[in-house]
Structure 1
Amino acid sequence: MSAVENHLLERLPRPDRLRLLAACEPVELVLSEVLCVPDLPVRHVYFPIRGFISLVTPVDGSPGVEVGMVGREGMLGAQLALGIATTPWRAVVQGAGGAWRIGTVAFKRELAHSPALQRGLNRYLYVLMAQHAASAGCLRFHLTGQRLARWLLMSQDRAHSDSFHVTHEFLAYMLGMRRVGITAAASTLQRNGLIEYHRGELKVLDRTGLEAAACSCYASDRRTYAQLLG
């Protein structure tokens, strides 16, 4: 990896960034790989570059529902800035690709030496809080098609491509819905010319139209990030 390509790292002063990168290693995020689970100490911190990660909250023994997403705009393991070693969610690789990885001990050492890193993580933690709050309201009040459009936009942003692989089963899992509902909503988006979907391969055809079809949570998430970390 010749470039940083992670927004949180790029925002750091150059000496802090170089010192942190020297302690990192490049890794490949593998589709469906589980990076951490609830209530167990995390072993590594990840700064995605091309891959992206779903944050899933388990519910009563079920697979759970997605409450957040992490791509190269953020990181996995930000709770370490609060002195907390565990997470409340299951982190699953949703999009394969590269990332910078650093062990938690080394990361906490860098955190202690970089006030800029601490400030950046504090702001990013608020972004995650806002994303989780929006997801809770979205699950309760917004229609399936709106939620699906939001999810597709979030995935496209982090995939940095108009095309990516996703199945109806995976969408139902992420959105906490029955597959039949996801299929109906995806069919509507396809009939309206917003997406193209075939055998798990999805392509966004009309980004503007998809934004119009999404709920207000998508624009709210982007606005919060831009205000704090843009």
Structure 2
Amino acid sequence: MPTSSNQLIERLPRAARSRLIALCEPHPLVLSEVLCEAKTSTRYVYFPTEGFISLVSVIDGNQGIEVGMVGQEGMLGAHLALGVASQPLHALVQGAGSALRINARAFRAELSQSPALQSAVFRYLHVLMAQLAVSTACVRFHSVQPRLARWLLMSQDRAASDGFRVTHEFLAYMLGVRRVGITSAASALRRDGLISYHRGDVTVLDRKGLEAAACTCYAADCRSYAAVMG
């Protein structure tokens, strides 16, 4: 039977947790793998145990912009709890790792007979909606450098490591800005001694300094999760 280091699963009572895990299978999260296309029927639900997933909004066929992130704290596929079969956002692996995966039909069946799982998923949906709302406002009102600092903090939290790999091109895609803007913002953070960056390898050198440099949206995300999930 697979084991879990996913925080949402770990918060379930023992019986509900064991039942859900028994229905899951280990699944590798491969960097840049598309787990679900927007507006397509959801085949699987993913509970990341390592690595993390970007939720990207795509409009009119444009490249898109990241509006959410899922790691060990949550799940991909929570919309199924609302009786909605299709994923509203494009989901791709941003940080390689692993997940527990369950067939959508089996997940819905387990959800229907597990009040504890229902409660956990509904609470997480609230957290996810808050994150999406904050991200939307962040794009409109905050400049690239504090947004980049927030993104790096969110990635560090989910990578469970000071170092991870990401290119300027990918950062520009995630934040919806030109690559030159990412280069300028990353250079400023590096000059301030907050990060090191070399050929796609990012290391957070000063966590507290990076938190101070980030926009208020990072702290808002943390407060929302703590208030709802405990």
TM-score of the aligned structures, taking structure 1 as reference length: 0.98
Distance in 1 (CA, whole Å) between partners of 2:35 and 2:126 is 22
CA drift of 1:63 comes to: 1.4
Q: Does 1:225 align with 2:225?
A: yes
Aligned to 2:163: 163
Aligned to 1:26: 26
Distance in 2 (CA, whole Å) between partners of 1:108 and 1:45 is 10
Q: Percent identity?
A: 66
Amino acid at match of 2:82: L
Distance in 2 (CA, whole Å) between partners of 1:186 and 1:225 is 27
Change in Cα spacing, 1:49 to 1:219, as seen in structure 2 (3 Å) is same
Distance in 1 (CA, whole Å) between partners of 2:24 and 2:90 is 23
Map 1:139-158 onto structure 2 (within 5 A).
Answer: 139-158=139-158
Aligned to 1:115: 115
Aligned to 1:191: 191
Aligned-partner SS, 2:50: coil
Amino acid at match of 2:227: Q
Aligned to 1:67: 67
Aligned to 1:7: 7
Deviations 1:56-78 (A, max 9, x none): 00022111000000000000000
Aligned-partner SS, 1:87: coil
Aligned-partner SS, 1:49: strand
Aligned to 2:44: 44
- Cα RMSD (Å) of the superposition? 0.9
Aligned to 1:58: 58
Aligned to 1:93: 93
CA drift of 1:38 comes to: 1.2
Number of positions where the alignment pairs a residue of Structure 1 with one of Structure 2 = 230
Aligned-partner SS, 2:91: strand
Distance in 2 (CA, whole Å) between partners of 1:142 and 1:24 is 40
Gaps of 5+ in 1: none
Distance in 2 (CA, whole Å) between partners of 1:197 and 1:181 is 15
Q: Does 1:173 align with 2:147?
A: no
Distance in 2 (CA, whole Å) between partners of 1:211 and 1:67 is 19
CA drift of 1:2 comes to: 6.2
Distance in 2 (CA, whole Å) between partners of 1:122 and 1:22 is 21
